[in-house]
């Protein structure tokens, strides 16, 4: 597992900024990255928390379909690094997801709904 800042566990109380709506700029920034859109789409169809490894496998599978050659191990490691160091922290910072490094589980959080209804716009 890659080291970094851990978030509170799932039972913790949300921070006082949770009730804030995301700005249009924040929404566009969060949805600008394809991997973040895939993460949100994946979480949207799940019941409850999912294992981060399942999420990374899903991202890897989707990207392997779009490229040629056998680079699955390297791609998996690249995606794992990006998910743990970039995507999960950024989404958690905006209260879109909640993740726990110890259990390695993630789920949608308070502001997820502000993004999920906009996912189709970015994929078209």
Q: Where are the domains of the chain?
A: 24-123
Q: Look up the CATH number of domain 24-123.
A: 1.10.10
pLDDT value of position 70? 63
Residues in the chain where the model's pLDDT stays below 70: 1-19, 68-70, 122-124
Strand order in the sheet with 105-108: 50-51, 105-108, 97-100
pLDDT value of position 60? 93
pLDDT value of position 20? 75
pLDDT value of position 56? 95
Measured distance CA(116)–CA(62) in Å, rounded: 19
pLDDT value of position 16? 41
pTM of the model: 0.77
Measured distance CA(105)–CA(4) in Å, rounded: 15
């Amino acid at each position: 597992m890659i080291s970094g800042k851990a978030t509170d566990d799932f039972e913790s109380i949300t921070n006082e900024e949770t009730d804030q709506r995301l700005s249009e700029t924040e929404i566009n920034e969060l949805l600008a990255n394809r991997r973040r859109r895939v993460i949100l789409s994946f979480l949207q169809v799940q019941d409850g928390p999912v294992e981060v490894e399942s999420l990374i496998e899903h991202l890897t599978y989707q990207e392997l379909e779009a490229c040629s050659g056998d680079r699955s191990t390297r791609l998996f490691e690249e995606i794992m690094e990006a998910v743990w160091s970039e995507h999960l922290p950024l989404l958690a910072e905006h209260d879109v997801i909640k993740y726990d490094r110890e259990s390695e589980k993630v789920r949608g959080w308070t502001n997820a709904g502000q993004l999920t209804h906009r996912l189709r716009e970015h994929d078209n």
